[in-house]
Amino acid sequence: MKILEILLCEPLLEKHMFVVAAEIQVKKGSEDQFKSWITESNQELSKFDGFVRRRLLETRAGKHIILVEFETQKQFEDMHKTQEHFRIQSKGHSYLEGPPKPTFYEVVSQ
């Protein structure tokens, strides 16, 4: 691995990180549109300070979780206070049966 690649990956190697795992239920028939929305909105969210990544997970039984990673809880909370996030979140919620059920974590060891 080149030195530049190591430096670019360095934030992902940080010991401390704020992680949200939000359990969601996607409306029947909206799965493909929701997956497209995840990809599109990730491009917008990646502009926020501290954003590391967001992924959509699916169990073999078809249940979904959105996994969001930020460098700090404060950066995550600051992003949530913006109009951009409100707009993104509103569109995303239109694909869901109800509100997400988040669980918050701090990475304490890797």
Task: Express each pLDDT in 7-64 by its tens digit.
Answer: 344 455 456 799 999 999 999 999 999 999 999 999 999 999 999 999 999 999 999 9
**Dist. CA 38–CA 19, nearest whole Å:** 17
Beta strand 64-70 with 51-58: parallel, antiparallel or unpaired? antiparallel
Confidence band, pLDDT 50/70/90 cuts, at residue 71: very high
The mean pLDDT value for 67-83 works out to 97
Length of the chain counted residue by residue: 110
- For tokens 């949530």, the residue is 80
Q: Within 13 Å of residue 6, how many CA atoms lie on the same side as its CB?
A: 3
- DSSP string of 89-106, one letter each residue: HHHHHTTBSS--EEEEEE
Q: What type of residue is 38? A: I
Q: How much is the pTM? A: 0.82
Which two tokens mark 47?
């502009």
* pLDDT value at residue 108: 86
End-to-end CA gap in the chain: 20
* pLDDT value at residue 56: 97
The mean pLDDT value for 64-81 works out to 97
* pLDDT value at residue 110: 77
More confident residue, 12 or 72: 72
